[in-house]
């Protein structure tokens, strides 16, 4: 069977910069899987993975595609025993194209909140939203949910995303900075960049942005009660706007967290002035 026919697999539309890795999630227990139209899912051991791939041309643009994807996912999760969403990933093309409220990321945010159902009524999970360089109209959204509620973690150095002022669009981004998983043993970290308060820092300066990103990651670990730094069981993913910066990002990570597995991919950050974003997992 080709991976594209297997609901457990998703070919993410982000180009690896360097070694390409397969990200694999495993559970203790049997896994079942299936498809329902544009939605694919697999579940086992009290965990649920669900994903939607759709094209904007079928839904009137980025807002319509986001609303469609989130309505599908919300309805599916609401009917599932694993109804507590811990982490979401969003990948869309040309994320920074458009001016003002017409920027594609802001349109995506409008559609996302319109499609969110009751499963998000108690708060938002950790998330990343990244621009890919594949077919511009392709939207990929996938999530990880479980049977128990996690704990949302915010960064004291940053304004919570859903409280951003109007300059960031009609609808503020709908995510938490991190989620502490139900057993309190793993922190799922959202895409983290050089944002202080609600403002981007160090425009055009990759080294300074990396240092600021590290400070934000350190603050999240402290707020979540996790140990400092990232070790061999703490995989990280770096999204790099300019492929030529991959080596600098990799050297920085190696110097700060020499044991942590690192995947570097070509991806645009949701603010045009930001050059790099990092997300990942931290185990106790």
Specify whether 211 is located in the same domain as 126.
Answer: no
Q: What is the extent of the structural domain holding 92?
A: 1-9+34-149
- Rounded to whole angstroms, how far apart are CA atoms 97 and 219? 31
Q: What Cα–Cα distance (Å) separates residue 280 from each residue in 178, 236, 249?
A: 10, 4, 15
23 falls within a domain: no
* pLDDT tens by residue, 197-219: 999 999 999 999 999 999 999 99
16 falls within a domain: no
Question: How much is the average pLDDT of 55-71?
Answer: 98
Q: What is the CATH number of the domain that holds 132?
A: 3.30.1330.10
Residue 22 has pLDDT above 50, yes or no: yes
Specify whether 50 is located in the same domain as 118.
Answer: yes
Specify whether 183 is located in the same domain as 128.
Answer: no
Specify whether 221 is located in the same domain as 140.
Answer: no
- Rounded to whole angstroms, how far apart are CA atoms 197 and 203? 15
Per-residue pLDDT at 5: 82
Q: At what angle do helices 206-223 and 246-256 cross, to 10 degrees?
A: 40
Residue 85 has pLDDT above 60, yes or no: yes
Per-residue pLDDT at 4: 63
Last residue of a domain, one of 149, 168, 195: 149
Specify whether 1 is located in the same domain as 102.
Answer: yes
**Into how many domains does the chain fold?**
2
* pLDDT tens by residue, 169-181: 999 999 999 999 9
* pLDDT tens by residue, 118-135: 889 889 999 999 999 999
255 falls within a domain: yes
Per-residue pLDDT at 109: 98
Gyration radius from the chain CA atoms:
18
Residue 1 has pLDDT above 70, yes or no: no
Residue 265 contacts residue 14 (beta carbons within 8 Å): yes
* pLDDT tens by residue, 223-272: 999 999 999 999 999 999 999 999 999 999 999 999 999 999 999 999 99
- Rounded to whole angstroms, how far apart are CA atoms 154 and 179? 9
Give residue 21's pLDDT band: very low, low, confident or very high (50, 70, 90): confident
Q: What is the CATH number of the domain that holds 239?
A: 3.30.1330.40
């Amino acid at each position: 069977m080709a991976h594209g026919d297997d609901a457990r697999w998703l070919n993410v539309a982000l180009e690896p910069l360097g070694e390409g890795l397969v990200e694999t999630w495993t559970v203790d227990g049997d896994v079942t899987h299936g498809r329902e139209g544009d939605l694919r899912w697999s579940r086992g051991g009290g965990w649920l993975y669900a994903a939607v791939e759709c094209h904007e041309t079928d839904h009137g643009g980025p807002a319509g595609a986001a609303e469609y994807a989130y309505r599908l996912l919300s309805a599916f999760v609401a009917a599932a025993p694993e109804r507590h969403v811990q982490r979401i990933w969003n990948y869309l093309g040309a994320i920074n194209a458009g001016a003002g409220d017409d920027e594609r990321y802001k349109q995506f945010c409008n559609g996302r909140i319109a499609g969110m159902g009751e499963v998000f009524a108690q708060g938002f999970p950790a998330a990343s939203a990244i621009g890919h360089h594949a077919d511009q109209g392709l939207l990929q959204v996938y999530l990880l949910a479980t049977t128990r509620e996690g704990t949302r973690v915010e960064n004291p150095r940053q304004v919570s995303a859903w409280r951003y002022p109007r300059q960031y669009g009609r609808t503020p981004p709908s995510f938490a900075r991190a989620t502490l998983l139900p057993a309190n043993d793993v922190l799922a970290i959202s895409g983290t960049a050089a944002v202080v308060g609600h403002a981007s820092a160090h425009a055009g300066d990759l080294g300074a942005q990396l240092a600021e990103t590290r400070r934000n990651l350190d603050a999240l670990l402290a707020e979540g009660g996790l140990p400092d730094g990232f070790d061999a069981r703490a995989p990280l993913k770096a999204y790099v706007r300019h492929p030529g910066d991959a080596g600098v990002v990799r050297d920085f990570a190696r110097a700060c967290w020499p044991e942590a597995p690192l995947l570097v991919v070509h991806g645009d950050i949701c603010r045009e002035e930001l050059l790099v974003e990092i997300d990942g997992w931290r185990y106790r």
